[in-house]
Homo-oligomer: A and B are copies of this chain.
């Protein structure tokens, strides 16, 4: 375990050993959590090390053990509303294994992604967690680094992944509306080209059957689209008593527009969102029933899965699906 005579941490390992009345080897074992020592010895050495300002150097430990104790976290969406809770969960789980998380935001730019991957590779990250990147990462730079995909299911079933089942998630909303006795449903979705749109549209069709009164309506991920979709539906004369939306923003726009048209929520129309985003679901009147994908749990399980692989533990499931739940508020009942 190397130490340095310059700042930060001016004390050397020998100083700690002398002050604690133990050998240098014992200090090393105590601070690295290795060997067989009494807990009180470990605690005493740690407290002496703290008092003297001595800190071990995990880069040195990493070089000797072939590990860097770092994990790269790669995302495409600038750590927005979806990646952040996943990152928080992953950080929590990885801290248990004393792993630090290095951020890499590709901003959906392929050249930038390649550059960041090379940089992570040079730093000898022990593993990667990748979110919002279903196509996977190709090329020689990553094949040798254990990688866990989150949020989106990767193409290959051999990849490690912790994901959400979007089809099942939206089905929860449809089943909730049907269970409340709603029989004439609309589905207001995001852009047709969005990866998740066809999956959700098919799931809504399957779950609603004849109770879906017209095909899914596609627009943007915005409140403005929710408002416009309601205008379109009302202008077309279609009769509906329930709306299932693919985002909380769409649902908020739809809910507020319906009220502006004089419809009571939930008496005339029950409405559901997707994402359970507090800035939306708690702000509407009444509050918005929504689907929570438990992104923090996805991140936590991804971190745990990666630790299991890195430490050679047996992995029962290489792909874990985290169930969503419906959070019921005044917009439906």
Contact = CB atoms under 8 A, between A and B. Distances in A.
Given A53-B140, A55-B121, A118-B55, A101 B102 contact: yes
Given A55-B118, A59-B59, A103-B87, A8 B145 contact: yes
A113 to B, nearest CB: 13
Interface in A258-290: 279-280, 282-283
A271 to B, nearest CB: 17
Nearest to A296: B78
A103 B122 contact: no
B103 A144 contact: no
Sorting the interface of chain A by its residue count into under 10, 10 to 19, 20 to 34 or 35 or more gives: 35 or more
A102 B101 CA distance: 6
A52 to B, nearest CB: 9
A123 interface: yes
Nearest to A256: B256
A277 to B, nearest CB: 9
17 contacts: A7-B144, A8-B124, A8-B145, A9-B121, A55-B121, A58-B122, A59-B59, A59-B63, A70-B102, A79-B79, A88-B105, A100-B123, A101-B103, A224-B282, A249-B279, A253-B283, A279-B279
